[in-house]
Structure 1
Amino acid sequence: MILLTAGAGFRRLGKDLKFTRNHGILAVQVTNADDYPGKVWGIVLDLDPNSGQIVSADATLAPPLGMFGFYVEDGQNHLVGAFADLNDNQQYEKGEPAWFHSDAEGNPIPLPIDPATGKGRTSGTLSKDTVIPARLTSAVKEYRNGRAIDEIITGQGIKIALGELADLNDPKFSAIRGQEGLWEPASFPVSSGIGIYFLEPYDPGRVPVLFVYGMSGSPQDWQPFFKSLDRKRYQPWFYYYPTGRRLDEAADALNNGVKALHAKYRFNQLDVVAHSMGGLVSRSFITKNVLRDGNPYITKFVTISTPWGGHEAAAMGVKRSPKVVPSWYDMQNGSDFQRDLFEKRLRCKVDHYLLFGYGGEKSMILPSSNDGTVSVASQLWPDVQNDVVQVAGFNSDHVGILSNPAVLDLVERILDQEESPASIPAGSKEKSKGLFSGFR
């Protein structure tokens, strides 16, 4: 976790924040995109309502499961749609399966952007029966003027990868990209994409384990876990996201992705393991997925070194920094996000295992008891202690805890545990038995 720095980071952040102020996000899912061979294009058209002419356009290839998005300049005149490019000529032709966000009569209409969130969201299905008005196809033809798609796109399409296979040696998953996700949370989805990646093809015979890294982190942080995980029983997934964005937004995106994957694969169980700020994102996601949406497949949740009570440097960053990373607002003690996080209890629905570190040295910012990055007091915040099934401490620092053999072993045993301890009353002596034996 890196909360305070200077120079180039703040300059990049300032540019990114300006972009965010001037752009909204249109998020789309074409639910049957995988039913068609070849390419499915997602498109957005900025249509002048007076002249009927297209002012600008963008396009992106829809990834598996058909989720994609676009950054668009503020306005309410954007049409969104998609088509299956059956003959691979980069243009829609009559008879190709298509879809547009439309009114009840099937007429394409602009997708509105909610001023409160800066987002518009919709979904639909491709169909050969879709009728695109002649005036719209004519406007598209005039705008393209014979140009290929890659000649007219603005490059602000957002790729949302769900279930794509990842190579952890790919530079996009490096620590450098993790820093970019902190300082450039808006441009990160365009340059790097976001989503939930697999390390191997989905196997219905193994339990998926979703790993969520923390602030300025990257999937490579989880290498020790990926190596130690029993691949005969489990399949590792990881959430790839910019850690500088607001935490509730990151949680929403994760929830939408998990639900889309569940709709396709129908898995019965999903375990979640999170580090640092990733624990905050994950609890918010699980609250939405389990308590709000009523899904039963998440029953185990492991957090490691999570700042449940906020972070001292976040408040300092919000107060003193020339530009503020959006996620810092949520990392402050007493933030609205932190308050909402504990409004509802997970216990008896999800077993939350809390692992913390205390191997830090003296700090000018942190209390004396810390892991070098997060105070023990924040890791053991009373609100979260009241909602966990078990707690264990380790003499490790914030990063080293991820490669501590005792931590790796304990997490594996938690995943292997079949009986739920959630039925054990809070405060029971039995709570300290079994997997956990206090501080290590």
Structure 2
Amino acid sequence: MKRISIILILCMSTLLSGCIFKDLKEELAEFDQNYVIAGKISNHEQATGPVLVILYSHLEAKRTAQQIVFTEATGDFSFLVHPGRYSLAAFSDANSNMAWDMGEFAGRYGAPDEIAIPSQTDAGLSNDGNVTGLEMDLKPPGETLTDFPSLDDTSLFEAKSLVRLGTIAKLEDTIFVQENGSLGYWKPATFLKKLGFGIYFLEPFDPEKIPVLFVHGAVGTPIGFSPMVEAMDRDQFQPWFFYYPSGVRLTSVSTALNETVVMLRDTYHFNKLLVTAHSMGGLVSRAFIKEYARTGNPADINLFVSISTPWGGSYMAAKGAKKAPVAVPSWHDMDPDSDFLQDLYTTPLPMGVSHHLFFGFKGDCSLFMANNDGTVELESELDYRAQREARTTTGLNEDHMSILASNELIDEYNRLLNSLVEKSDR
């Protein structure tokens, strides 16, 4: 896996500034024109067979099917769209023939109601134009709906919604390859169109097991946590993975994580969640934990483990944000003086959250960084604001990536997890 500090150093060179930053500029322009339409089929459990949701675009007097997706197991659906006018319909495909037939549950959003997504120019929006929280009911057979599109046009079919809510996968699946981690950093719009984002499960939800949420860092994917997951007691814990484009602004990422966890909680009603994060994922996780508590959510997050997190930001990211022809959006939040980092420490972690901070110190000699783990400077890993709230601070002779496979880390991590089970059994 490429180290983010090396990437930043390379990006400052004139050799790469032409091609990489030209592509990045185009990506960010595309990203700024992306919005989300999302909702839920309220009575999806009553339907027989998988539920498909159809997004229609409206241009002048013509209505055209644009995208078709299956709902998530939770009944939720989501689409990535450009500014325009849209409407929604859905049906349960009881006979799995990929077409609506008489006798199958079906419905529309509204009468149907039109959903308008204005452009930023028209509405002065700053990616606030998302339309979420829509609710649709599927009506029992009997109502004739004759204008569902043929699903022969496979280009319309996306299979998965934009937001993944407990999609079951394996860590060795191609979706988690390192190339996609880099894609999410340099081409976030392409990442979203290709992969979406959200929380993945390795197995169906089990109310008897405690969820452990893993959050990767910049250029990362969930596969980096494989050694920790392999050593985990899977009879007691169920690993979940937040997968997202790591080049996006961190406030947006943490908000998306919060909303995704809330949707899963509303479906599965879990009352305990443990959080484990690597690198920049620790910053995302701390912001999420604070927002989750602030919105009054009842799930008890009582363990937060951060590994090699740049708690004080990155001076290299700050330089990149100021001097590069086009900045990766997350560089702005990694600036030690950024509003994001300052706000991160304005209030402490919620009561009851036990934070355990791990850091590596097996770094490289570098003209660009002080003492480091090969990617993050120790000064940032050991920022006093994070240390003063940590229950424990543990240093290991590992670099930024090898620490995830460290026997010492894994042993201590499992001890922390198992101690929670022992306390709950008392």
TM-score (norm 1): 0.83
Contact residue 270 and residue 299 of structure 2 kept, 8 A? no
Aligned residue for 2:276, secondary structure, equals strand
SS of corresponding position for 1:68: strand
Quote how far apart the aligned CAs of 1:98 are. 3.9
Give the deviation of 1:149 after TM superposition.
Answer: 5.3
Report what 2:115 is aligned to: 110
> Letter of the aligned partner of 2:79 in structure 1?
F
CA contact (8 A) 2:103 2:142 kept: no
Which of 327, 332, 339 is 1:329 aligned to? 332
Alignment match of 2:317 (pick from 314, 319, 322):
314
Indicate how the Cα distance of structure 1 residues 265 and 183 shifts in structure 2: closer, same or farther if over 3 A, else same.
same
Q: Structure 1: how far apart are the matches of 2:160 and 2:86?
A: 14
Distance 1:151 1:390, change over 3 A: closer
Task: Tell me the SS of whatever aligns to 1:201.
Answer: coil
By how many angstroms is 1:63 displaced?
Answer: 2.5
SS across alignment from 2:90: strand
Are the counterparts in 1 of residues 215 and 281 from structure 2 also a CA contact under 8 Å? yes
Find the partner of 1:63 among 69, 72, 84: 72
Q: Distance in 1 between matches of 2:46 and 2:317?
A: 46
In the alignment, which of 369, 373, 380 is matched to residue 371 of structure 1?
Answer: 373
Please say if residues 215 and 277 of structure 1, whose CA atoms lie closer than 8 Å, have aligned partners that are also in contact.
Answer: yes
Distance 1:55 1:265, change over 3 A: closer
Question: CA–CA distance in 1 between the matches of 2:373 and 2:53?
Answer: 46
**Which of 74, 85, 100 pairs up with 2:93?**
85
What's the counterpart of residue 206 of structure 2?
203
SS state of the match for residue 186, structure 1?
helix
| Distance (whole Å) between structure 2 residues aligned to residue 345 and residue 81 of structure 1 | 45
Alignment partner for residue 255 of structure 1, among 254, 258, 274? 258
Answer yes or no: is the 8 Å Cα contact 1:33–1:64 preserved in 2.
no
CA distance in 1, matches of 2:116, 2:102: 23
Report the alpha carbon displacement of residue 420 of structure 1 after superposing the two structures with TM. 12
Q: Decide whether the 8 Å contact of 2:92 with 2:106 is kept in 1.
A: yes
Find 2:36's aligned residue among 6, 21, 25. 25
Find the aligned partners of 1:235 and 1:411 in 2 and give their Cα distance: 15
Higher relative contact order (CA 8 A, sep 6+): 2
In 2, distance between residues paired with 1:111 and 1:297?
A: 38
> How far 1:155 sits from its partner (Å)?
5.8
Q: Which one is further off, 277-286 or 340-349? A: 340-349
How far the C-alpha of 1:360 sits from its partner, in A, is 0.9
Residue 176 (structure 1) aligned with residue 179 (structure 2)? yes
Kindly provide the CA deviation profile for residues 99-135 of structure 1, in whole angstroms up to 9, marking residues without a partner as x: 4443xxx551315468232422123142317999x9x
Offset of residue 243 of structure 1: 1.0
Determine the structure 2 residue equivalent to 1:339: 342
TM-score, length of structure 2 as denominator length? 0.85
1:59–1:149: 8 Å Cα contact kept in structure 2? no
In structure 2, what is the Cα distance between the partners aligned to 1:169 and 1:397? Answer: 23
1:420-431 matched pairs, under 5 angstroms: none
The letter of the residue matching 1:294 is: N
Aligned-partner Cα distance in 2 for 1:35–1:65: 13
Cα distance, 1:151 vs structure 2: 4.9
Partner of 1:402: 404
CA distance in 1 between partners of 2:305 and 2:376 (Å): 17
CA distance in 2, matches of 1:23, 1:180: 17
2:67–2:156 Cα contact (<8 Å) kept: yes
SS at match of 1:414: helix
Q: Percent identity?
A: 35
Alignment of 1:47 onto 2:21: no
1:273-321 C-alpha deviation (Å, 9 max, x unpaired): 0000111111111112123233232111110111111112211221222
Q: How far apart, in 2, do the equivalents of 1:157 and 1:206 lie? A: 26
Cα distance, 1:26 vs structure 2: 2.0
Q: Which runs of 5+ in 1 are unaligned?
A: 422-440
Judging changes above 3 Å, is the alpha-carbon distance between structure 1 residues 37 and 253 closer, same or farther for their aligned structure 2 residues? farther
Q: 1:156 to 1:205 in 2, by over 3 A?
A: closer
Number of matched residues? Answer: 406
1:329-354 deviations in whole A, cap 9, x for unaligned? Answer: 21111212212222322142311111
Cα distance in 2 for partners of 1:131, 1:246 equals 48
List per-residue Cα deviations over 1:177-214 (Å, max 9, x = no partner). 11111111112122123221222333322222111111
Q: Quote the offset at 1:176 in angstroms.
A: 1.4
Q: For residues 42 and 383 of structure 2, what CA distance do their matches in structure 1 show? A: 41
After superposition, the Cα gap between the structure-2 partners of 1:390 and 1:42, relative to the gap in structure 1 and judged at 3 Å, is: same
Segments of structure 2 that go 5 or more residues without pairing to the other structure are: none
Amino acid of the structure 2 residue aligned with 1:59:
I
Are 1:127 and 2:130 an aligned pair? Answer: no
Matches of 2:251 and 2:106 in 1, distance apart? 33
Instruction: Kindly provide the amino acid, as one letter, of the partner of residue 64 in structure 1.
Output: A
